[in-house]
Structure 1
């Protein structure tokens, strides 16, 4: 059993303005609603970040114009 907690993408909905940059940087993880706000494809509040998207997710966090994204660890459920 792995001791690492899975990484998830936390979206701070109170600061997000729906500019859509994160959906452009993470097109296989996020889509947009009609106002440009990100919607996770897995329909979770905090989508799981696959290992192969870790670098792209870090870039999206860094480039988010409103600093509305964070990568956090969540225990396995």
Structure 2
């Protein structure tokens, strides 16, 4: 499974960071940082957290791909 991230669409709400702090972080300017290689498949032990973050994004900047 991969997570597709639309960085331009992200508004910096931070809900993904709350849902999956080991995967997402907002920098000091409120820009989203992916703490994983978003071009590669996520390890199985991180997929549940990623799916949770995708669900809570209020503007759909995150999407699950490759399932």
TM-score of the aligned structures, taking structure 1 as reference length: 0.68
- Gaps (5+ residues) in structure 1? 1-6
Shift of 1:26: 1.2
- Higher-Rg member (1/2): 1
Aligned length: 66
Q: In 2, Cα distance between the equivalents of 1:15 and 1:36?
A: 13
Which residues of structure 2 form unaligned runs of 5+? none
CA RMSD, Structure 1 to Structure 2 (Å): 1.9
Change (3 A) 1:65 1:20: same
1:29/1:47 Cα in 2 relative to 1: closer, same or farther (>3 Å)? farther
